[in-house]
Amino acid sequence: MKSQRPALPPSARSLRRAIEILGWVTVSILVITGLVAIFDRAGFLTSASNMDFTDPIATFNPFDGRYVQFSLSSWAHLITGLIIFTLGPLQFMPSIRRKSISLHRWSGRIWLSAGSLAAISGGFIGIFQPFMGVDGQGFNESMATTFFAVYTLFCLAKAYSTIRARNVRAHREWMVRSWALMLAIATERIMLAILMATTDIGVPVLFGTTFWMAGLVNLAASEIWINLTRSPGSGHRHWKDLDAVSAA
Ligand code: HEM
């Protein structure tokens, strides 16, 4: 099948190859950050489950206490987060898709289900029980969670419906958006750590604000990457294959 778009000049092909390498390095850092956060919080919940107390907020603190208070949602969130961060990178490896498309399909179904549950369980805590209360400074976190949880669910639904309609190009684009949104939890942690170390602004303000910042930065990065690598037609030929043909 012939490409409907003229071949890219060598400089543009080199540029997107360089951005791809930078992207994988960034994704690796974010995945490690997210996994550390998961194990950190899971360790806390495990030790809390071995303690005797009546009021988790008084026993721990207003931030950590909520994870104990809503431990079912917290565990659902951590387990689905672990699945998302483990399977996520594999979904974007063309070599795995080429070797076994059924593995890609099955892990994709698990990934989409885990993504939906992560958005719903995160939504439960962040929308209704944000740090600092929904009628206080937590309103910022509550609104950020509402926006990102709903938009994530939308992106996941589009990723599924487009591949059912055999539109590979659109499926890839919605998956890139979904993955960028999932990775935002790690971007947020990095932003939060930097701002806590370099400013005197308190965590109650920083927490919700960095949620917005991280989500929007990741979404913007995903839109740039999608535009740079959009394949023609229904996208059955990956941009890498097209670049390889042009280079030959
Ligand atoms: C759209 C999907 C997601 C939404 C809307 C979401 C939302 C949230 C919210 C609102 C909280 C509670 C923050 C608080 O008030 O303390 C939270 C906590 C957390 N989320 Fe997510 N989340 C999502 C996906 C993920 C993913 C994919 C991971 C995988 C790493 C993840 C890992 C965590 C962790 C580790 C915590 C605990 C944070 C801590 O220990 O400080 N989340 N999430």
pLDDT truncated to tens, each residue of the chain (248 aa)?
444 555 778 888 899 899 999 999 999 999 999 999 999 999 999 999 999 999 999 999 999 999 999 999 999 999 999 999 999 999 999 999 999 999 999 999 999 999 999 999 999 999 999 999 999 999 999 999 999 999 999 999 999 999 999 999 999 999 999 999 999 999 999 999 999 999 999 999 999 999 999 999 999 999 999 999 988 777 777 888 777 777 77
Residue 241 CA, ligand 1 centroid: distance in Å: 36
Ligand 1 centre distance from Cα of residue 36 (Å): 12
Q: Whose CA is nearest to atom 43 of ligand 1?
A: 122
Q: Which residue type, as a one-letter code, is found at position 146?
A: T
- What is the C-alpha to C-alpha distance for residues 239 and 228, in angstroms, rounded to an integer? 9
Q: Are 240 and 17 in contact (CB under 8 A)?
A: no
- Each domain of the chain, given as residue ranges in start order, spans 10-238
For residue 185, how far is its CA from the centre of ligand 1 (angstroms)?
Answer: 6
